[in-house]
Amino acid sequence: MSTEHDTHSSGLDPATADTAQADEMPTSPEALMQAATQRIAELEAERDDFRERWMRSEAEIQNVRNRAKREVDETRQYAVQKFARDVAEAAENIKRGLDSIPAHAEGEPELVSKLRDGFEGVERSFLALLERNGVVRTDPTGTAFDPNLHQAMAEQETDAHPPGTVMQAWTLAWTLNGRILRPAMVVVAKAPAGAGSKLDTSV
């Protein structure tokens, strides 16, 4: 038979082949336990390696997601800020139109009164709409100068206001959800010469 022929051709008789195969297997409980323990350790090492690779892949995927979300948010926020800044400019134009109408006076033409009331109504509605969307206009007159919200266009010596107080706002401050859109252009009070140090209004 071919099996017998192969065994004889390899130089080993069946008894010798069985003995060699048996020698490769552990022969004692201690050896069996050692072999099993070694195999378990190898499997645990493979498991830990796969787990580490999986966790690293998950972390990289999460980083990609976070980066993509941040980029989308920044793009959206920039677009909203640009739009809100343009809208704030439109609101400033409405205010300039109101300021150009003479103050209410006794016996003024009815047309002027209606024009003023119409502008004021439009401005109130427009500002309410903007505020509902996080765009807020703030008049800094009488408040302390804040370089984060105000841009000092001039300083004026005065005893009527504490140094560093915004005396007059040429334009108002605009914010979007608390972030500055347009700083207020202001005139800042300073102490009369010799009465104190000059306010640093540099931004």
Q: From CA 56, how far away is CA 49, in angstroms rounded?
A: 11
Out of 63, 83, 103, pick the residue that ends a domain.
Answer: 83
88 domain residue, yes or no: no
Sequential DSSP letters for 64-115: HHHHHHHHHHHHHHHHHHHHHHHHHHHHHHHHHHHHHSPPP-TT--HHHHHH
Residue 172 lies in a domain: yes
Q: Tokens 């209004």 belong to which residue?
A: 201
Question: How many distinct structural domains can be found in the chain?
Answer: 2
Domain boundary among 83, 118, 150: 83
User: Please, which residues bridge with residue 136 across strands?
Assistant: 175
The pLDDT score that the predictor gives to residue 202 is: 52
Distance between CA atoms of residues 146 and 50, nearest Å: 56
Provide the mean pLDDT of the chain. Answer: 82
Establish if 190 belongs to a structural domain.
yes
Strands (E) in the chain, as ranges, are 135-138, 150-157, 166-169, 173-176, 179-182, 184-190
User: Is residue 139 located within the same domain as residue 203?
Assistant: yes
List the structure tokens of 199: 């306010």
Q: Please tell me the pTM assigned to this model.
A: 0.56
pLDDT at position 23 is 53
138, 175 Cβ separation under 8 angstroms: yes
DSSP β-bridge partners for residue 165: 144
Nearest to 166 by CA among 193, 203, 140, 197: 140
- Residues 5, 16: Cα–Cα separation, whole Å: 15
Flag whether 15 is in a domain: no
* Residue 119: closest CA among 137, 135, 95: 95
Please, which residues have CB within 8 angstroms of residue 172's CB and are 6 or more apart in sequence? 92, 95, 137, 138, 139, 140, 184
β-strands 184-190, 166-169: how paired?
antiparallel
Where does a domain end: 83, 112, 127?
Answer: 83
Write the pLDDT tens digit of every residue in 145-200. 999 999 999 999 998 889 999 999 999 999 998 889 999 999 999 988 866 544 55
Q: The domain spanning residue 186 has which CATH number?
A: 2.30.22.10
Using 50, 70 and 90 to split pLDDT, how confident is the model at 26?
A: low
Containing structural domain, residue 200: 135-203
Residue type at 121 in one-letter notation:
G
- The answer to the question of residue 30 being in a domain is yes
Query: Are 79 and 140 members of one domain?
Result: no
193 lies in some domain: yes
Is residue 118 predicted with pLDDT exceeding 70? yes
Let me know if residue 14 belongs to a domain. no
Q: 185 near 168, Cβ under 8 Å?
A: no
Query: Are 141 and 78 found together in one domain?
Result: no
- Whether 130 maps to a domain, the answer reads no
